[in-house]
């Protein structure tokens, strides 16, 4: 199915690994020029750009801290200069630093909130300023089913992911009259490095929660994101689409 994304320009935060890489490559496969940001994984980011360019698209990797408002503004302007515009913003960059709340440090709380929530605010705002004026654009925020249900020892992470959902709904209302769609993809446990590094028992418990009896893949998340970035989703906004194999049920 042609999603009509040829020639569109996209930013994917946290695009050097995991779901972000799958989203960046899927959008490129659908015809987009794609810029990714990264903080530490320089070699991985360059490899993603290489694969994007191998498909005949423009690729760009920008070292940027998502918690920096200035970095976000600068990255959006750089992409507009390099690609000639911006049509799609996918916010995916995030971290977890788990602990029960009575043991959680202020640093743990602030670091996760600044990356996962302020980072989404920074890039959503930068994109909204562009999309509002051009009266078109797609924003997709990657949250988590744990932002909808809570999770033991993840009060900082689940707070950030729940707030991403609430913010996205507000932005959908604010930007709808400008022909801008804002939606959320909420994965369950996906087979990424984070899942691979989990204790086996915890990973198996999550897998057993699913109706399909398996973990999802980054590519399965990316396919949903690509649909939400296309005009085929033009009458969908403010929605949360779970990609979890029935784990949340």
pLDDT digit string, tens, across residues 54-67: 999 999 999 999 99
**Cβ-contact 16, 36 below 8 angstroms:** yes
Is 207 within the bounds of a domain?
A: no
Average pLDDT, the chain: 97
Task: Give the catalytic positions in this structure.
Answer: 157
CATH at 109: 3.40.50.720
User: Which tens digits make up the pLDDT trace of 4-39?
Assistant: 999 999 999 999 999 999 999 999 999 999 999 999
Percent of the chain with pLDDT over 90: 96
- Is 123 part of any domain? yes
Question: Does 195 map to a domain?
Answer: no
Give domain status of residue 192, yes or no. no
pLDDT of residue 193: 87
Sheet-wide strand order for 59-63 = 59-63, 33-38, 9-12, 88-91, 137-142, 180-187, 240-243
Confidence of residue 128 (pLDDT cuts 50, 70, 90): very high
Cα Dmax for the chain? 51
Do the domain assignments include residue 213? Answer: no
51 band by pLDDT with thresholds 50, 70 and 90: very high
pTM over 0.75: yes
* 150 lies in some domain: yes
Domain that holds residue 21: 9-187+219-243
Rounded to an integer, the average pLDDT of 26-53 is 97
Please compute, for residue 227, the number of CA atoms within 13 A of its CA located in the half-sphere on the CB side. 15
Other CB atoms within 10 Å distance of the CB of residue 231: 12
CA distance between the termini of the chain = 29
- Residue among 156, 164, 181, 169 nearest 122 (CA): 164
* 174 pLDDT higher than 80: yes
| DSSP secondary structure of 190-229 | BSSHHHHTS-HHHHHHHHHHSSSSS-B-HHHHHHHHHHHT
And the tokens for 107? Answer: 């640093």
Q: Of 26, 29, 45, nearest to 37 (Cα)? A: 45
Detail the DSSP E strand segments found in the chain: 9-12, 33-38, 59-63, 88-91, 137-142, 180-187, 240-243
In the predicted model, is pLDDT for residue 204 greater than 90? yes
CB 185 within 8 A of CB 132: no
Number of domains in the chain: 1
228 part of a folded domain? yes
Please tell me the predicted confidence (pLDDT) of residue 194.
84
> 95, 112 in Cβ contact below 8 A?
yes
Q: Per-residue pLDDT tens for 137-173?
A: 999 999 999 999 999 999 999 999 999 999 999 999 9
Average pLDDT of the residues in 217-233: 98
- 193 found inside a domain: no
């Amino acid at each position: 199915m042609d999603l009509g994304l040829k020639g569109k320009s996209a930013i994917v935060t946290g695009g050097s690994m995991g779901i972000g890489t799958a989203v960046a490559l899927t959008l490129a496969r659908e015809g987009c020029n794609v810029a990714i940001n990264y903080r530490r994984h320089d070699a991985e980011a360059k490899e993603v750009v290489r694969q994007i360019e191998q498909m005949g698209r423009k690729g760009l990797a920008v070292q940027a801290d998502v918690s920096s408002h200035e970095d976000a503004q600068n990255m959006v302007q750089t992409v507009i200069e390099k690609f000639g515009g911006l049509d799609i913003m996918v916010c995916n960059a995030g971290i977890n630093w788990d602990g029960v709340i009575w043991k959680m440090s202020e640093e743990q709380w602030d670091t996760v909130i600044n990356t996962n929530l302020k980072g989404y605010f920074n890039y959503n705002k930068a994109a909204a300023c562009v999309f509002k004026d051009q009266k078109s654009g797609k924003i997709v925020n990657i949250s988590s089913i744990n932002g909808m249900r809570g999770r033991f020892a993840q009060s900082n992470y689940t707070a950030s992911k729940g707030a991403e959902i609430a913010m996205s709904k507000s932005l959908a209302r604010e930007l709808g009259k400008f022909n801008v769609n804002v939606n959320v993809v909420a994965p369950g446990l996906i087979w990424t490095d984070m899942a691979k590094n989990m204790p086996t028992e915890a990973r198996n418990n999550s897998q057993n929660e699913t109706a399909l009896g398996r973990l999802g893949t980054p590519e399965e998340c990316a396919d949903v994101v690509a649909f939400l970035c296309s005009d085929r989703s033009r009458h969908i906004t403010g929605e949360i689409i779970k990609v979890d194999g029935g784990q949340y049920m």
